[in-house]
Structure 1
Amino acid sequence: MVAASPEKAKEPSQVPSKNAQRVSRRKFSLPLLLLEVGIALASGGLSGTVVAAWSVSEQARIDDIRSEREGQREELRSAREARQENLRFVRDRSSSQVVERPFQEIDLTGQNLTGLKLSGADFSGAVLKDAKLGRSDLVGTNLREADLSGAELNSANMQGASLFQANLKDANLVSANLRGANLAWANLEGAILVLNDVRRVCYDDTTVWPARFTPPVTRCNFWPPPGNP
């Protein structure tokens, strides 16, 4: 009598089940995830009222995030439109004639003022960060405490300008005329100063110069004290 051969143990199937395939292919979205979590909570014994309240709370949080982002986008749009309006205001006063140019604390971040004639303008406290001012006429302008960081001032005529306590960090000042300008308390860290006319420029120990730049011999012995630039 031939003994029956023992049956081989069945190896577990290597083919994923249909349910596993569906899970692996599923693309989760936040609303779907919230729904599934809610179902899971309900199956755990929580009442439908609790699950509904949780879902409403999560949806309100999502709505708040969307509203906040939309508000931020609206603020950016408003700021951009305000700068463009400020630019038109400045351009309208660009001329060789002596006119009043009251630009105190104006925001011109990133705006193009290349070649404008703005001698004698009052830019005190203005924001000119990353603005383009190359070849512009800024003779005798008041740029006290102005933010000119990253600004393009190449070949600009800034003779006699007051840059007292101005921020000129990383500004491009190649070939800019700074003769007689007041740079007391100014920050020129990282600025590009090449081929500049710096005769009779005013500065003191608080002036921050770019690395490896040799300041002119003159200081502030011919200029009013820093408190009265």
Structure 2
Amino acid sequence: MNDPQDPHDPYETTETHLERLLGRALNSFDLPDSIVERLGTALAHSSALHSSHHSASLHRTTHRHTYLLADGSALSLWELAHNAGRDGTEQFELYAEESEARLAASRLPTGPLHGWTAERSDGRVLDEDDDLELLSALLARPIPAQPRMYVPDNSADHARRVLRRAENADRPGERTARRLRLAFAHHITQAFGRHCPVEGGRDAGFTLYEHQFLLLDGSEVSLWEVEHTATPDGRHMCEVYEDEHTARGAMESRSRVR
């Protein structure tokens, strides 16, 4: 029942297997507490390769780990392994839903970060001095109209986790958190994604997501999540805002393009 691609002991116990997965995952703290508690009753497990992508610069795999629990039910974790970190070492992330793992995989860079070029409307190729102009134009670009395909999928807990990982001091407060406890469906849209040079001569990634929630009273609430690596040490950081304008302004202020 073990994963044949995993080099670890094929006869390791389910408890050891879980400890290893949770211990190496960068985001294990983000798993819902209820799921972690249920996993504590796991009796057996099975792992399988779900998807794989390999290119010259990126290696990415997704595994599905399924656990048989003491009450007779089954529970799955989705593990994303990739080498998209700063030093190219393999990193691991765990998700309770396949859709979350797929979204995380879509956020990984798909090609080289250096040497990209863009062309102005007058035909002149942009250089590094034009990076700020290009970034500002992209930030101001409206989001294409898309149908809102709400999915009932533990949406109140999803909202709680989005708010919990926000590090900005001006993140949405308790009033918004209380409203989102009534969420029963949600939809995630990527509104922006770009890498560009920042202060210090390195590249930083900026991604903007809209988390749209449908509440029990029929109203809709959006959270705008900014993910970026424009931090002093290049680490990944999440910020959450209540409106798109503020989120885009935060991205622009963080860019500090050379």
TM-score by length of structure 1 reads 0.23
Larger RCO (alpha carbons 8 Å, 6+ apart): 2
The structure with the greater share of residues assigned to strand is 2
- Highest CA radius of gyration, 1 or 2? 1
TM-score by length of structure 2 reads 0.21
